[in-house]
Each structure stands twice: as C-alpha cells, then as structure tokens.
Structure 1
Amino acid sequence: MRVSSPDRVVYEATDATPEVTKLQVCEYFAAMGDPLMNAIGHRPLAMERWPDGWREGMRLATSTQDREADGFYQKRLPKGAPDWLETVRVYTPGKRPIDELCPHEPAAAVWAAQMGTLTFHPWPCTRDDVDHPDELRIDIDPQPGTTFTDARRVALVAGELLEELGLRGYPKTSGNRGIHVYVRIEPTRSFEDVRHAAIGFGRELERRDDSVTTSWWKEERGQRLFIDYNQNNRDRTIASAWSLRPRPGAPVSTPMTWDRLADTDDPAAYNLFTVPDYVADGDPWAGMNDTAFSLDPLLELWETLPGGELNFPPDYPKMPGEPPRVQPSKKVAEHWDADGNRVDG
C-alpha cells in the first residue's frame, strides 16, 4: 500500500521514545495484523483521525460542528475509499443509518493509518448481528486525584468478582491512566440489557470497595474510580485493543493477562516501539473468543441491588425511569415530579 507523506512526524520525540513518522504508524499496524484483527475484525468501527499528527495541546473534536479541532471521529467511510474495503450499516440511537468501516483483513487497518487514524473505536458486536452485543465492556475511569495504580487495584478486584460470578474478564490498559475489562458474552441481549449488566456490576464493586463509584455527575464522584456504564450504550465505543493513543510517546491500549497487569506500574512502557516484541510471545487475548458467557449473573445484580435507573448521555432521548438530567447541586426538588420531568415550565 502506498503511504503518502511517509516522513510526516506523527508523534514528537520524548525523553523515553524517538519521534514517530506516518510510515512507522502504518508499519506498526501491519505488524500487529493478527492480534489487531482478533480485536476489531468484522466489527463496525469509527476511526479517530489526526491527519497532521498529534502534539501536546491538540484537541479532539467534540461534535461535527467543531471545525477548529485537530482530530476528529470519522464514522462514515470517506468518499474515494478503495473498493476492496468493506462496510456494515449500523443505526444511531436516533435511528440514523451509518455505513461504517468493517475491517476484514489487516490491510484495512493500514489504509486507515494512511488516512491519519491512530485509534480504532469498534462496536461491541460483529457484522452478523449489530443489534446484539457480544462484548461487555467495563471501563474503569480514574477521576482527578486518582492514578493508574488505583485503577489497577480496582481492576484486580473486578477480575476476582467476575470469577466469583462464573465469568472471565480480559483486561487491557486504556493507553493512559484507565483500564478496560472485556467479557465475551452470548449475543442474545440488547444494548440496554448490557448497559444494565454494567450498572449491576459497578454497584457490586461499589459495595465491596468505597473507592468505586457509578455516579454520573462529576460533582458526586470525588476522588474515586468511575465505572462508566454508559460505554455499553448503542453507538458508544472505546479505544480498541492495540490502538495507538494521542499521548506522548505513542502509547498503546495493551491487552494483558491478570498477572501481567498486577506487575505493571507504568502503562506508557507499552508503546509503538515495545508492543510488537511484547505480543511476539503470544496474544494475551488469544482465547477470548473460545467461550461466550451468559449475562444472567450481572442482570441479577441489576435487579436486586438498590438504585434503579441511572442517567444516559445528554445526546440520548429521555429514557424510561431515568433520573432528572440536572446537576444535583442545581436541582430544586419542588421543580421536578417523580418521573424526573420539570413541573415549573
């Protein structure tokens, strides 16, 4: 595949790593072909593109109207894309159809890198059934005042809890301070069910560890680890395994065994330069697709633990049973009815 502007600097040098060129990014994704396809193959995905490379201070667009940002999410395959690329049609929560890239071979990832993609954001479902996820994603998100070490400790507790419930989790670094834990599930449940399973799991973690929270409002989280249950909604994605992240040193969102995670102090040590050698010893997620688990144990937690429905993201329509969409510090009780609707006009 022809790579235009191969010498363009995508990551500047740091004290620990040399600069990274566009050609090196393409070569990285080519080298990671098999484990990368194990993680994102045959899944609809959005591309996080940084056409001019990434530098400290650059900003990712937060909406399609944000024209001043340096990076952006591309959901639709751009015009002029090669005919051999494959797509799959997915639907947003508002029923809007989108034909997204669906990589069927490593060359698709290399093409995306040629287009400035650093991070892949796959859906938690395959092209065979885009309405029923086959992945539960537990996003352990450090809040201000917490560290990767805190996230690692909570992730290990999460792994033990999953085992107790008869499930197996597969952890990876986020490429920054966070940790993601994936569970392969039977593709028989809706996105809403998977989201509720994540809430149930998060609440059980909260019960066991007071450094964990499922509070949607930032003012209520404090210095705790937020379990971002909303990452399991339709049209919500997180950085894939083996993706590069827009951070100094070209870090990688790196799958690990639980033992490796327990021994990891610095996630930035896993980067474009080190990960190909790391995975040469074997893909830590190689057996992930061997067993699909039932969500029933987690949905039982959702049904039995107190708390009810939690807030959805602001771009979602108001959902049944959802609490009021107003910061708790700004809420005046008499202005709201029991269903979370304003009653003062």
Structure 2
Amino acid sequence: MTPRASTSASSARSKPAARRAAKPASVPDAEATPDIIPRGGKSCEVRVGGRTVTLTNLQKPFWPELGITKADLLRYYVAVSPYLLPHLADRAMVMKRYPNGWNGKFFFMKRTPENAPSWLKTCAIEHASKSVIDFPLVNHLAELLWVVNLGCIDLNPWYARCDDVNRPDYLHFDLDPVPGADFARVRQTALMVRDNLRKLGMTSYAKTTGSSGIHVYVPIVRGPLQKQVWSFAKEFARAMETLDPALVTAEYRISKRPHGRVLVDYNQNAWGRTLASIYSVRPKPGATVSMPVTWDEVENGVELEDFTLQNAPARLARVGDLWKPLTQKRGRFNLGDLL
C-alpha cells in the first residue's frame, strides 16, 4: 500500500444545466447565518465565500416525526460551521448519503462526482489496489453545504490531513456498548480510558457519538505512521481489557464480544476508517449530535439525548468549541516517544 495525496481544484466538471434566476449576493463565510437558507421553496442558490451552491429538495422530510426537513439540516450546519470547519479542514471526506432522510436507505460514496462544482477541491489518495480516489475537501462553508445537500447527515473525515494521509495527527477510541451494557458503563469506561491515558502523559478529549457511545481523542504530534498509531491503540485497548475484563472488551469479532461489556474499539485507527466528526448530526430518531463534553459532564452523567440538532447551536454559543486544542499545533502528545 503506497498512499499518495494531493490537493487540486476540479477544473473539468460540468456546470448545472438548470437556468438560474437572480444571482444571490455573496456572503463571507464568517458572516453567514442560517437565514441564507430560505424558509420556503424547493430549491435555491446561495453564494458564500465567493462560491455559488445550488441546494435542492429543501422541503424533503429528513426526520418526519420531528418536522425536520433537509433545509433545517442545512441551517444547522450553517449555524455550527464556525466551530466545525476547522476540524474538517484539509481532510478527505467520505460521503455517507441519506437522500431520503435518517431512516431511509443510505450508501457510501468516496469518489467526487464529475458534476461537482469547479471550485470544489479534492484530495487524491492512492489505495492498496493502486486505485486513486479523489475525495472532496470541506474547507469552506460552500463545500460543507454542497456535501450536506447530497444527503450527508453526518460527516466522516479522514483521520490525517491531505498533505500526508499516512501520518495521523490524533489517535482515538470509539467506546461502544455491547448488548447488555448501558450508557452508564460507557461513561465508566471513558473515565477509565482517560485516567490511563493521563498516566502516559496524554491529555484526552471526549465527545458523545450521538449514536450509542463516546469517542475519546488524543491530539498527537504528526510523525508516526498510521500503522504505528493503530498498533499503539490496539495495545492500549487490550491493556484496558486486562485491567477490568468485567467492564471492557477489546474483541473486534462481534460474535466473540462478551455480553454487557464496552468495546474499546481501536480498529477505527486503521487505514481508511473514519468516525463521525465533531458536531455531526447522526441519523438517529432524535436527530442527536456528536457533541464535545467536559470530563466533569461525563462524571456527572451526561446522556446521548442531551444534544440534538435543535439545541446544539445554543450550547456552542454558550460554551464555544471545547475541542479547539485538537486544531492547534501546541499541546500535542509526541507518540513517537512511546514507540
């Protein structure tokens, strides 16, 4: 496997054939508000950051039982974009598309379609098969809206940046309950993982997945190869299982996982795997959101249902981006010192 990455603008893509009405006024990304998405109408054009995005099927129900439409999903992502975009910048985006809403059929799409806008930049990654796939990049609000308009409810960015896709700048653990384990056991596992990472000198950050568990991330100095990061995560997860086998499992084979345990999933650090990003809405009944939380909140009994599309923007306005350290160069752990 020889990974290769490059960033390029898509220059030979066809433009939409539909006739356009009045050209919308251009709004800088930083000044965009959810009001750029109209409350009525089936489609529209918005112009942000000098890029025009065509948005379609705006009134399609995405959570019909909650009265949430595709337009509402787009408005949510506009609202959280100042906090979200720094976490997506320069990372290839795997598109998981739900064109008919959260409970409809979905499919994965990695390759950027030929009819994508000419301004959309891509990240070319060579896989083990020698196939080179051009993934879209989401660096700006227009690119975010374009991806969400495809029906991407949650966002699944690559774990490393495009200029070196084989050297991650964080390691992470997906704490997922095995049948028979409740969310209280997930919280207990998260605190255990935090404490043992801290013993190694690592500062970790938690977020609810919005699905069933908790993600724990550690920002690291970029240097170790992906396989080395994966190997460390595997060794750490197995150590957690040894410390408390009545609570934790590191067993990746689903049929072999013991009932009532919490999986410390290290394998999401493997090549090409992705996790739902920070602030992603999840395709779940309550339109729950993957939300950063403080360790105090974990200790005090945070629940998955606490954060939804409808209340997440207000929380962000109140507490800001708790995961800002993951976007900064300083404060990262040098994992190479342990390898």
Which TM-score applies when normalising by structure 1?
0.78
Instruction: Please name the residue that 2:11 is paired with.
Output: none
Aligned-residue offset at 1:3: 2.3
For 1:8, the equivalent position in structure 2 comes to 60
For residues 243-282 of structure 1, the aligned pairs below 5 Å read 243-281=280-318, 282=320
Between the two proteins, what is the percent identity of the paired residues? 35
Please point out which of 155, 178, 196 is paired with 2:213. Answer: 178
Q: CA deviation at 1:273?
A: 0.3
After superposition, give the CA deviation of every residue in 1:151-209 in whole Å (9 maximum; x if it has no partner): 11100111111111101111111112211111111211111101111111112211222
Give the direction of change, closer, same or farther, for the CA distance of 1:260–1:273 in structure 2 (3 Å limit): same
2:331 paired with 1:291: yes
- Which position in structure 1 is the counterpart of 2:228? 193
Between the aligned partners of 2:250 and 2:336, the Cα distance in structure 1 is 20
**Higher normalized strand content (fraction of residues):** 2
Q: Name stretches of at least 5 consecutive residues in structure 1 with no aligned partner.
A: 59-69, 300-345
Contact residue 149 and residue 265 of structure 1 kept, 8 A: no
Paired residues of 2:223 and 2:336 also in contact (CA < 8 A)? no
Secondary structure at 1:248 match in 2:
coil
Alignment equivalent of 2:180, drawn from 145, 155, 171: 145
Q: Please give the root-mean-square deviation of Cα atoms over the aligned residues, in Å.
A: 1.5
- C-alpha deviation, 1:92, in angstroms: 2.6
What is the aligned counterpart of 1:28 among 56, 70, 76?
76
Which contiguous aligned blocks of 4+ residues in structure 1 show a shift greater than 3 angstroms?
296-299
Report the residue type matching 1:24 in the other structure: D
SS in 1 for 2:281: coil
1:295 Cα deviation after fit: 1.7
The TM-score with structure 2 as length reference comes to: 0.80
| Matches for 1:92-171 after TM superposition, within 5 Å | 92-171=127-206
1:235 and 2:283 aligned: no
Taking the aligned partners of 2:212 and 2:127, their CA distance within structure 1 comes to 29
Alignment correspondent of 1:39: 87
**Whole-Å separation in 1 of the counterparts to 2:226 and 2:153:** 27
* Deviation of 1:260 (Å): 2.0
Deviations 1:132-164 (Å, cap 9, x if unpaired)?
Answer: 111101111111111221111100111111111
For residue 94 of structure 1, report the CA deviation from its aligned partner. Answer: 3.0
Q: Which amino acid aligns with 1:152?
A: R
Q: How far apart, CA to CA, are the structure 1 residues paired with 2:294 and 2:118?
A: 38
Distance 2:169 2:126 in 1: 17
Q: Which letter does structure 1 place at the counterpart of 2:102?
A: W
Asked if the contact 1:147–1:177 (Cα under 8 Å) also holds between the matched residues in 2, the reply is no
Alignment coverage as a number of residue pairs: 282
Please say if residues 103 and 109 of structure 1, whose CA atoms lie closer than 8 Å, have aligned partners that are also in contact.
yes
Structure 2 match to 1:336? none
Tell me the amino acid that sits aligned with residue 286 of structure 1: K
The 8 Å contact of residues 93 and 234 in structure 1, kept in 2 or not, is answered as no
Query: What letter corresponds to residue 239 of structure 1 in structure 2?
Result: A
Post-superposition shift, 1:77? 1.0
Q: Measured at CA, do residues 225 and 177 of structure 1 come closer, stay the same or move farther in structure 2, by a change above 3 Å? A: same
> Does structure 2 retain, via aligned residues, the 8 Å contact 1:33–1:106?
yes
